[in-house]
Chain A
């Protein structure tokens, strides 16, 4: 069954992420198994989106396997993605190992579906999630003084609040010399700012739209934007306050630069993606063994952690035979063995999207230091983050790119002093609603029936 497409060549276009790097290093296994040659093209996200759009839009279909970012590729082009249920149910093709239920449910919905519970258009591939990283050695060293001065125990728990986070960061600024700043953020005028801000927005009870399924399944029409709600304004005001005492480089940093600063001991705490743990705990890292990982703090309403995962999809514009060959690749790439291999890989380090893998003894062992699989040290923090109440899912709407640009532009202007929180949120809301009304036309092109 696995060798029926022997001799075919597949093209896989992906962002240059850890799981893809690991898979690229192990492609010979797939070749042995199936006789299919896979060419992997890794690009940075913007270039990837451009190429994928051209490939799909022109009907070329030369990239059969797509790293389908749920917001930039899946939402706009959901109609062009092949329905994977057909392949999974086909008795001539291998089906998903351990069944579809093995994927973490929130991730399956976010990365694998759009608007429609019936259609499966992606398999969860990676799952970076934002968590609270902090220098636990410094917390131990100064813990007593901090408790005294602040009036509460600073050790991160499920009940820590953003207000407390702010005060801890401020305390570090004032009282600790060995590290320049208490907190750093990925507040570059880019996706990273939107991610960082969203955590706070949601924790205060604010949101982009008042729509339950806009983050999980997504929708073409989410209704009016609610960024002007009192909760959203409160969140924006707090975010401005917090960034006011953060490391000044924050407005130029994306997640990579933030991690570099964290490892260079420029900041004591940072909300960042959990997969950076691998680099922070690496042998050459100056802070190995010194980092603690916790869920992000709560706002008045709850604690939410931004999820940034993606799924693999099959290009519906490609010939059907190639789609089926691509299915073999999808099954292999998201299989428990491959994901485990990715987790353990030296060049990779992505955490699995399958629940069963977290039950394995060797993986469980790695959740406590010292750990062979450093990303697992974050498991406590991220596993709760993946629960439906806590997971931070941004809107999955076809106009998201425009809205994303609007929100990170306005928040950036707020941070550099151009605008007040009210002005920023009002302007953002205006752009959101404008984009929505315009893009509805773009998204509803002629339906694709999938080329045969």
Chain B
């Protein structure tokens, strides 16, 4: 029938475009992962090699000569803790802001998000001084707080937007049924905005995980993160592409796992949200 032919034709075109888009996105990553298993000679050959004898030398070298586990842990800790704090506080403040009504409310909202626009190189010095007096230099706690400077405003602002989109009717219904305001927040508003919370958390995690500028400034030998480890491979006598590919692969892998795990939840949550009306 015409209808299903057209539908199948459309799907074919869609998947064709999808393949192109996937190529654009994945070829660099695929190449990087592939390269991490090549010997140094194969890596630098002038004609790209797709067939080669794999070698684990870069991974071994990475784990042997550098404190890679430490870096991974530091990155996870700093990014993870900062994300959790930002999301929790962001939900609280975002809800409070969206449900309150006072003059200058949108000015406050704008101020909140403007704190995230700080030009990095310029704020490093005052933040450094602040951290120094608080004894937070070279600590993971310091990094967590440094990341909060951009995660917190982001979380507040996004959750504010999500809560603002939520009609108060649902919470009011709950309160009619005897819930306190906080319970209305906790049991009604929060679950419905779950997709927004997950999106916010993912983004906060990404921004923290990827940070280089703050890590260089505030982290010390004990609290160094993965991006620093990667940049370190740019030595005076050579850029160790092999180890760099390996680090890149290590960086992308947990995110891929997290992404896969949370993805189903998020898509389900998104479509669930669509049906709420």
Instruction: Point out residues on A near B: beta carbons under 8 Å.
Output: 11, 15-18, 21, 25, 39-44, 47, 50-51, 54, 58, 60, 62, 128, 256-257, 259-260, 263-264, 266, 273, 275-276, 278-279, 284, 286, 347, 349
Contacts and interface: CB of A to CB of B under 8 A. Distances in A.
A18 B232 contact: no
Given A15-B236, A275-B237, 4 more contacts: A41-B224, A50-B217, A276-B237, A286-B41
Interface stretch (B21-29, B82-90, B98-106, B124-132): B124-132
Nearest to B221: A39
Find the residue from B128, B220, B224, B236 having the highest chain A CB count within 10 A: B236
Given A43-B216, A62-B138, A11 B238 contact: no
B44 A263 contact: yes
Nearest to A48: B216
A16 B237 CA distance: 9
A286 B42 CA distance: 12
Contacts of B217: 50-51, 54
A198 B124 CA distance: 34
A349 B221 CA distance: 24
Interface of B: 39-41, 44-46, 65, 124-125, 128-129, 132, 137-138, 216-217, 220-221, 224, 228, 231-239
Nearest to B128: A54
Contact of A47 (B46, B125, B216, B235): B216
Nearest to B231: A44
Nearest first, the 10 A-B pairs at minimum CB distance are A16-B235, A39-B221, A17-B236, A47-B216, A44-B234, A41-B221, A256-B238, A256-B239, A54-B128, A284-B41
A16 B232 contact: yes
A18 B237 contact: yes
Contacts of B232: 16, 42-44
25 contacts: A15-B236, A16-B232, A16-B235, A16-B236, A17-B236, A18-B236, A18-B237, A21-B235, A44-B232, A44-B234, A47-B228, A50-B124, A51-B216, A51-B217, A54-B124, A58-B129, A58-B132, A60-B132, A62-B137, A128-B236, A257-B239, A260-B238, A263-B44, A276-B237, A279-B238
A58 B135 CA distance: 13
Given A44-B232, A58-B129, A62-B138, A17 B237 contact: yes
A6 to B, nearest CB: 20
Q: Is the interface of B mostly helix, strand, loop or mixed?
A: mixed
A264 B44 CA distance: 8
Contacts of B137: 60, 62
Contacts of B128: 54, 58
A278 B45 CA distance: 19
A434 to B, nearest CB: 21
Contacts of B40: 284
Given A17-B235, A43-B228, A44-B231, A260 B125 contact: no
Q: Is the interface of A mostly helix, strand, loop or mixed?
A: mixed
Contacts of B228: 43, 47
B230 to A, nearest CB: 10
A195 to B, nearest CB: 12
Contacts of A51: 216-217
A221 B135 CA distance: 38
A260 B128 CA distance: 38
Given A17-B236, A40-B221, A266 B46 contact: yes
Contacts of B41: 284, 286
Contacts of B235: 16-18, 21, 44, 256
B221 A11 contact: yes
A44 B232 CA distance: 6
A264 B47 CA distance: 11
Contacts of A260: 44, 238
